[in-house]
Amino acid sequence: MTDTIDAEVRDELRATVRRWVQREVLPVASDLEHADEYPAAIVEDMKSMGLFGITIPEAHGGLGLDLLAYIAVVEELAAGWMSLSGIVNTHTIAASLLMRQGTDGQQARWLPRLASGELRGCLSLSESDAGSDTRNISCRAVRDGDEYVISGTKMWVTNGERAGIVALAARTDEGITCFIVEKEPGPAFEGITVSKDIPKLGYKGLETVEMVYDGHRVGADCVLGGDAGLGHGLGYILGALEVGRINIAARAVGVARAAFEAAIGYAQERRTMGKPISEHQAIQQKLADMGTKLQAARLLTEHAAVLKQSGERADVEAGMAKLFASEAAFEIATESLRIHGGVGYTTELPVERYYRDAPLMIIGEGTNEIQRLVIARGLLKRYAIS
Ligand SMILES: Cc1cc2nc3c(=O)[nH]c(=O)nc-3n(C[C@H](O)[C@H](O)[C@H](O)COP(=O)(O)OP(=O)(O)OC[C@H]3O[C@@H](n4cnc5c(N)ncnc54)[C@H](O)[C@@H]3O)c2cc1C
């Protein structure tokens, strides 16, 4: 596909998703969110629009589009309800691990069912003592003939219960290895148990769970990348998390846009001291800062996506986009709530949801403190004086 055709397809997909969000998501998002209810009908629509296979090649049943198309869709979903972007995110990370490191057999086995959404994917790296400290994972996979026996407890598995495959980091004799674990969706399957549904401040309607593996067996053919992948799992996952961080940045842009648009609309309607509050300079200063941060966040996110798509290493740029966009979303959501005054603090408007959803982007896919370390290390390497 040429760049022009790509851009046309991207714009068309964004417009389709935006119209669908306005029609099908916005009217129900707050009710579903407050009830912490899984949006089953919405997810079916997402499947039929191909949103579970945006970046998966057409040969494997996906839309075969690039990361720019992906972030456009993520922004639209998050502007409607941030949780929807969470439903596709770790799924897309699992798919991108298979696309980059999977053997031909692994790609043929799992990518088509991931692309259609028949199989949902998730990523299971974190443990209670291994969040930022990824090298500290203790989940083990022990070789037994043609199989591995997996034991350990994983934390923070978003989509873990409904997933049909888990991209799982576990320790083997060679180091940390990534396994593709296929399972039945549900609370228990052959030694895998969902031991806790973690209650959250926001990001509701989809599950983030603790999962226990108690002697679960997988074939040796489930090692991502085959024997060559043994001991390389952490590197593979950290590479895929660059896509995850660009996703988080795009999500933050979506939430920030929704919060900004709510504020700039309300500011023109609400009147105090005989005029719309948008005519008070104090409010104009806020709107100017919010709009500027939103635009900067989007440009950084697009730049990181273009770089990653080109095959260049993008850890610094993905980190910068995630860092800036998530902090901007948090600030914009807070300012939007303030501009709404008392009504912003009620559950009658979605502003309070943006305010609860925004902090996740500061923490997820590596906290912003960790992003700063990654960015600084990368910059010091680039600017090394000897
Ligand atoms: C809602 C939600 C969904 C998630 N979904 C997933 C998922 O699907 N899959 C998955 O694998 N994980 C998931 N995570 C886990 C997430 O990636 C971790 O929570 C995150 O990486 C932080 O790890 P931690 O919670 O252990 O915090 P810690 O690592 O304990 O950090 C605590 C604080 O110390 C700071 N800190 C830690 N180390 C350093 C350092 N070296 N220098 C400076 N500051 C430091 C941190 O920035 C933070 O402020 C999810 C988390 C949440 C909250």
> What tokens were used for 249?
């940045």
Same domain, 227 and 240: no
Pocket of ligand 1 (CB under 6 A): 90, 123-126, 131-133, 156-158, 200, 203, 208, 360, 363-367, 369-370, 373
Domain edge (last residue) among 61, 86, 116: 116
Name which residue sits closest to atom 32 of ligand 1, judged by CA. 132
Residues 8 and 101 in one domain: yes
Q: Rounded to the nearest whole angstrom, what is the distance from the C-alpha of residue 124 to the centroid of ligand 1?
A: 13
Question: What is residue 3's predicted lDDT score, i.e. its pLDDT?
Answer: 63
Q: What percent of the chain has pLDDT over 70?
A: 99
Task: State whether 365 and 256 are in the same domain.
Answer: yes
What mean pLDDT is predicted for residues 191-196? 97
pLDDT at 261: 98
337 vs 5 pLDDT, higher one: 337
Strand-pairing partners, residue 176, are 171, 232
Q: Same domain, yes or no, for 12 and 95?
A: yes
Query: Which atom of ligand 1 is nearest to 203's Cα?
Result: 1
What distance in angstroms lies between residue 132's CA and the mean position of ligand 1's atoms?
5
Residue 4 banded pLDDT, cuts 50, 70, 90: low
At which of 199, 231, 263 does a domain end?
231
Q: Mind listing the pLDDT tens digit for each residue in 319-334?
A: 999 999 999 999 999 9
What is the CATH classification number for the domain harbouring 7?
1.10.540.10
**C-alpha to C-alpha distance for 180 and 237, rounded to whole angstroms:** 12
Summarised one tens digit per residue, pLDDT across range 244-282 is 999 999 999 999 999 999 999 999 999 999 999 999 999
Nearest partner of 303 among 290, 326, 321, judged by Cα: 321
* DSSP at 140: E
pLDDT value for 139: 98
Q: Does 295 have pLDDT greater than 60?
A: yes
362 and 291 housed in the same domain: yes
The stretch 10-39 carries a mean pLDDT of: 97
Q: Of 35, 63, 59, whose CA–CA distance to 47 is shortest?
A: 63
Whether 72 and 107 map to the same domain: the answer is yes
Task: Say whether pLDDT at 382 is over 50.
Answer: yes
Q: Supply the pTM of this predicted model.
A: 0.96
* Structure confidence at residue 1 (pLDDT): 44
Instruction: Tell which atom from ligand 1 comes closest to the C-alpha of 126.
Output: 11
Task: Report how far ligand 1's centroid is from the alpha carbon of 185 (Å).
Answer: 25
Residue 2 has pLDDT above 60, yes or no: no
Reduced DSSP (H G I as helix, E B as strand, rest coil) percent helix, strand, coil of the chain, to 5 = 60, 15, 25
Residue 133 has pLDDT above 60, yes or no: yes
Whether 33 is catalytic is no
Catalytic residue among 8, 184, 365, 369: 365
Asked whether residue 260 falls in the same domain as residue 361, the answer is: yes
pLDDT digits (tens, 9 = 90+) for 152-164: 999 999 999 999 9
Backbone angles phi, psi at 122, to 5 degrees: -145, 170
CA nearest ligand 1 atom 41, residue: 370
| Residues 100 and 163 placed together within one structural domain of the fold | no
Domain count, the chain: 3
Do both 270 and 211 map to the same domain?
Answer: no
Report the chain's mean pLDDT, rounded to a whole number. Answer: 96
Same domain, 199 and 325: no
Give yes or no for a contact between 341 and 270, defined as CB atoms under 8 angstroms apart: yes
The predicted pLDDT at position 121 comes to 98
- The CATH number covering residue 203 comes to 2.40.110.10
Contacts of residue 338, Cβ cutoff 8 Å, sequence gap at least 6: 286, 344
- 218 and 255 housed in the same domain: no
Segments forming the whole domain that contains residue 19:
3-116
On whether both 168 and 209 belong to a single domain, the answer is yes
Residue 386: predicted pLDDT: 78
Give the CATH number of the domain where residue 258 resides. 1.20.140.10
Confidence category of residue 213, pLDDT binned at 50, 70, 90: very high
Alpha carbons 41 and 116: distance in angstroms, whole number: 15
Last residue of a domain, one of 57, 91, 116: 116
pLDDT at residue 312 tops 90? no
- pLDDT for position 27: 97
- 136: burial class by Cβ within 10 Å (0-12, 13-18, 19+)? exposed
